[in-house]
Amino acid sequence: MSLLLATCYLLLDFRLFCKQCQLLAEKTEIYPKSKIFYRVDYLYIIFLIAFQICFFIQLYYTVVIHQKLATYKLDEPEMLIGRPVSVIICARNELRNLKQNLSLFLEQDHPDFEIVVVNDCSNDGSDWYLRELSEKNKNLKVVTISDHPRFKHGKKFAVTMGIKASKNENMIFSDADCRPATNRWLSRMENKFANNTEIILGYSPYERRSGLLNRIIRFETFSTALNYLSFALAGMPYMGVGRNLAYQKSLFFRGKGFASHMHILSGDDDLFVNQNANPGNTVIEIHPDSQVWSEPKYTFAAYFSQKLRHQGAGKAYQLKHKKMLGLQAGSGVFFYILLVGLIFVQAQWWLLLSVYLIRFAIQLYVYVPCFRKLSYPDLIWWMPVLDLIYYFYIMVLSFVSLFKKRLEWK
């Protein structure tokens, strides 16, 4: 259906383009000295060509890449294996979240696991709570990092300490403000460590709240997950999300941990995956039982600050991944910019509407099953508005990140 719509549009558009060129040639003979006319008409042709190039680039990512996730079958294993596994959670001043969520990790239905909590320089009483809880739970291990007046560190140092303290080869990572969807989360994630699998890309949606900000946060989370999961299924894994991510300890040390990007504030998750993942060692796990839910930000300032912190990691991606993602994001941003430009130069309204509706129809066809698999079915009919906001957000965030720097992970 997607390819049929695109083919029909291509044939229609080719006829339109030929007609426009014919009209331009006729007007050139009639008004050979009208420079203003030349500029407007040629500007229209350039805008039209660029607009359609962006459309077909977007079409490629939707039909060829994102279709992989739309057709992905959720597996139902006959038996969960139950290999030994370590769960690593880093927490800095997260007492409220630890009290609320840590018990959900400790109550996982798995025969052999440990929870390693790295208490990273907390001063909110987390150490007393964790100490008391560890006395009641033998599978809870607490690693405490004390603050040093001359040594400042980011999350990667805390993650490294947690990895070194863990006793198992298979490790799963999450955050203190996250909660597993079910008590089978750990078993389902760990079960994917089979054959040559060294990295498992999980999924972590944000909880639903009222208001536009929450919809923006969840749509951005959906778009990010749609991308990295689809590319992984296409044999091009490039990132993962640390709220629900698993990899093996031997891979961490073989790849020298975070040594090559320790100077970058973020990237304990996506940069590690970017540098160590390949088609043969990476799989995904998105079953509803395996998802980890997170609490969203409640203000635009807090959300934007969080995204700025994450933005810096993208600059250290492999060149092929930066080109791939840059082309995708750029085509989306310029699709809307050129749409406005064509309206300004008075392009045919039915042409612009046709392109937009065809793009939307193809997205709807591909993304509806993806919205359902990623637990966001309520956002389907918000997609036209949120898609526009999403690309505007990308443009603003990219610009601001050129001048803004952060020195702390929390």
One domain, residues 209 and 120? yes
Which amino acid is located at 300 in the chain?
Answer: F
219 and 390 Cβ atoms separated by less than 8 Å: yes
180 and 108 Cβ atoms separated by less than 8 Å: yes
The span from the CA of 252 to the CA of 268, in Å, is: 11
One domain, residues 266 and 350? no
The greatest distance separating any two alpha carbons of the chain, rounded to the nearest whole angstrom, comes to 91
Which amino acid is located at 123 in the chain?
Answer: N
Which amino acid is located at 163 in the chain?
Answer: I
Q: What backbone phi and psi angles, to 5 degrees, belong to 199?
A: -130, 135
The span from the CA of 148 to the CA of 104, in Å, is: 32
One domain, residues 307 and 360? no
One domain, residues 152 and 284? yes
- Give the closest residue to 139 by CA, choosing from 109, 177, 176: 109
Per-residue pLDDT of the chain (410 residues; tens, 9 = 90+): 554 544 444 444 545 545 555 444 444 444 444 444 444 567 778 888 899 999 999 999 999 999 999 999 988 776 678 899 999 999 999 999 999 999 999 999 999 999 999 999 899 999 999 999 999 999 999 999 987 656 667 899 999 999 999 999 999 999 999 999 999 999 999 999 988 999 999 999 999 999 999 999 999 999 999 999 999 999 999 999 999 999 999 999 999 999 888 877 777 899 999 999 999 999 999 999 999 999 998 888 888 777 776 666 777 899 999 999 999 999 999 999 999 988 887 778 888 898 999 999 999 999 999 999 999 999 999 999 999 999 998 888 777 766 665 545 55
The span from the CA of 18 to the CA of 249, in Å, is: 60
CA angle 209, 214, 218 (to 5 degrees): 110
Query: Would you state the pLDDT for residue 99?
Result: 96
Query: Would you state the pLDDT for residue 23?
Result: 46
Asked, for residue 397, whether it belongs to a domain, the answer is no
The span from the CA of 147 to the CA of 20, in Å, is: 68
Residue 90: its H or E element: strand 85-91
Q: The CATH number of the domain where 263 resides is what?
A: 3.90.550.10
Residues 6+ apart with CB under 8 A from 128: none
One domain, residues 153 and 230? yes
Q: What backbone phi and psi angles, to 5 degrees, belong to 98?
A: -65, -40
One domain, residues 40 and 100? no
One domain, residues 270 and 292? yes
Asked, for residue 400, whether it belongs to a domain, the answer is no
Phi/psi zone of residue 188: left (φ > 0), alpha (ψ -120 to 50 degrees), beta? alpha
Asked, for residue 398, whether it belongs to a domain, the answer is no
Choose one of 320, 338, 365: the last residue of a domain: 320
One domain, residues 102 and 206? yes
**Could you please report the per-residue DSSP string of 162-203?**
HHHH---SEEEEEETTEEESSTTHHHHHHHT--TT--EEE--
Asked, for residue 259, whether it belongs to a domain, the answer is yes
One domain, residues 114 and 260? yes
Asked, for residue 13, whether it belongs to a domain, the answer is yes
């995708």: which residue's tokens? 328
Asked, for residue 211, whether it belongs to a domain, the answer is yes
Choose one of 287, 302, 320: the last residue of a domain: 320
Query: Between β-strands 113-120 and 140-145, what pairing exists: parallel, antiparallel or unpaired?
Result: parallel
Query: Would you state the pLDDT for residue 229?
Result: 98
Task: Could you list the beta-strand ranges (E) of 5-46.
Answer: none
Asked, for residue 357, whether it belongs to a domain, the answer is yes
Q: Which domain holds residue 131?
A: 85-320
Residues 6+ apart with CB under 8 A from 362: 1, 2, 5, 6, 59, 62, 63
One domain, residues 95 and 59? no
Q: Which two tokens stand for residue 407?
A: 């020195």
Asked, for residue 399, whether it belongs to a domain, the answer is no
One domain, residues 117 and 249? yes
One domain, residues 161 and 284? yes
Choose one of 298, 320, 342: the last residue of a domain: 320
- Give the closest residue to 242 by CA, choosing from 292, 174, 172: 174
- Give the closest residue to 121 by CA, choosing from 141, 151, 88: 151
The span from the CA of 6 to the CA of 1, in Å, is: 9
Domain count, the chain: 2
The span from the CA of 340 to the CA of 324, in Å, is: 25
